[in-house]
Structure 1
């Protein structure tokens, strides 16, 4: 290593002035920056002409070579080889340590290439199966990365540490302690794996969990992201989903909507239901099969409440609100054209005969109407109140 560093001394002699040294350093750094910016383009260009694995090896080799050359040029130009040798001596680094460092670095590079290769293999296998979801692909990809990196780090540690077994035993006890301290997090991660295999919902489904409702936009090992119909993003921990009740409203790619409308008690309910169904049939977003339905919901304080139910396909927040708004507008217009009253809230007051009923008085305090009536109302002016 000392001989390699000594061979860089001629760069300092070649660049005798500070301006020239600064220019050479800028060129060396610019080389690394240029390689970084053109890395993806180079990788794509090689992939188009050969296998992706070869492209990974070549592009990574070019990047590493550019970084090493730039570091060597900057070190030699500024005459820092002696300081590097002194530092190496102070740290007690010998040729074996340098060899181990080089092997460790190469192992990490091979690990990066291996993770990319395995990712492409997994993607190719899953693409041929329609039963595998995007969430399962993502989780499998992450698991393969964790497994490869774990094996690589164990090998690297084995190069530097002779008694690796005791270290692994200590790491095992540390893992137990951390697991007990992070039970909630581990439970959430395990619930993420359960969701991956149980598949109660997919990305794009309309779900309701513990009062939170919306469209699933992302599923990770830790949590599930849901976009509500108000445009808000809700992060639900997977352990909450695994231990709670999940309602999937769009499991079959469709969603049922219900609009409640009240009609006056003097209205023919069957006729009002038929008109409401005919109004929904004219809504573009409503599906024809299953057909819309109108059911009686309840006897309200001021009206008979009808539930107008219909379905929409490929549910989303935008289609939900558009369909609901169109349904309300269509029902209101139809009822207005057919003189069907949608009553305001109202109250019917009756007086008890033994209490004298209600009394209605004018502004002068005189009693109007039949004083002997059992049902009279007494009103007062704001000044009298």
Structure 2
């Protein structure tokens, strides 16, 4: 029969791990928000980055719980490799989505340009000069001087040469 005394260490370790997870989630969210405030980044971009980091933390805690509860290492590797294979096959056609999400994270932390900046994208076939209206997880919304709206994928922004064109205009506030 099941006895709590047999699993005291596992239960104690699980409780401590969950407390650490909750504390780390709050600390990380606070640090990212502070970083975003000092960098004047938009709230919805900050929330996306926090969400991605929380997902990563949850995956690591799940793996830790599997180890704490004594699941055989061989079984863990078989399960993880099977899941990775299925995800790899399913996501093979969707690599650009993952690339855009990763690029969005890079743009968040490096912020080479901001909303309101006018940029020139150096593309041999289709050069673009436009103002950045929004930077989201997958793409950047641009608006040309002629009023044309262009949606440009994040991963291409990191692949192309970009010039930030200095503009002399009054400061504007941007809202989510």
> TM-score under structure 2 normalisation?
0.58
Quick one: which of 161, 165, 175 aligns to 1:249? 165
Quick one: which of 115, 118, 121 aligns to 2:28? 118
> In the superposition, relative to structure 1, how do residues 313 and 169 fare at CA in structure 2: closer, same or farther (>3 Å)?
same
- Residue 83 (structure 2) pairs with residue 171 (structure 1): yes
Contact 1:206 1:315 in 2 (8 A): no
Quick one: which of 92, 98, 117 aligns to 1:205? 117
Q: 2: CA distance between counterparts of 1:101 and 1:232?
A: 59
Q: Secondary structure at the match of 1:134?
A: coil
Aligned match of 2:58: 149
Aligned match of 1:189: 101
Quick one: which of 89, 92, 103 aligns to 1:180? 92
Q: Secondary structure at the match of 2:59?
A: helix
> In the superposition, relative to structure 1, how do residues 107 and 176 fare at CA in structure 2: closer, same or farther (>3 Å)?
same
1:331-355 per-position Cα deviation (integer Å, ceiling 9, x unaligned): xxxxxxxxxxxxxxxxxxxxxxxxx
Any stretches of 5+ residues in structure 2 without a counterpart? none
Larger helix share, 1 or 2: 2
1:61-116 per-position Cα deviation (integer Å, ceiling 9, x unaligned): xxxxxxxxxxxxxxxxxxxxxxxxxxxxxxxx9566x9989986885565344301
> In the superposition, relative to structure 1, how do residues 171 and 212 fare at CA in structure 2: closer, same or farther (>3 Å)?
farther
> TM-score under structure 1 normalisation?
0.31
Task: Pick the structure with greater CA Rg.
Answer: 1
Q: Secondary structure at the match of 2:114?
A: coil
Calculate the aligned-residue CA RMSD, in Å. Answer: 4.5
Aligned match of 2:171: 314
1:251-293 per-position Cα deviation (integer Å, ceiling 9, x unaligned): xxx24xxxxxxxxxxxxxxxxxxxxxxxxxxxxxxxxxxxxxx
Structure of greater relative contact order (alpha carbons < 8 Å, 6+ residues apart): 2
Contact 2:133 2:140 in 1 (8 A): yes
Quick one: which of 32, 41, 62 aligns to 1:134? 41
Contact 1:207 1:216 in 2 (8 A): no
Contact 2:32 2:50 in 1 (8 A): yes
| CA-CA distance at 1:201 after TM superposition | 1.0
| CA-CA distance at 1:142 after TM superposition | 4.6
1:242-281 equivalences under 5 Å are: 242-244=158-160, 246-250=162-166, 254-255=167-168
Aligned match of 1:214: 131
Q: Secondary structure at the match of 1:215?
A: strand
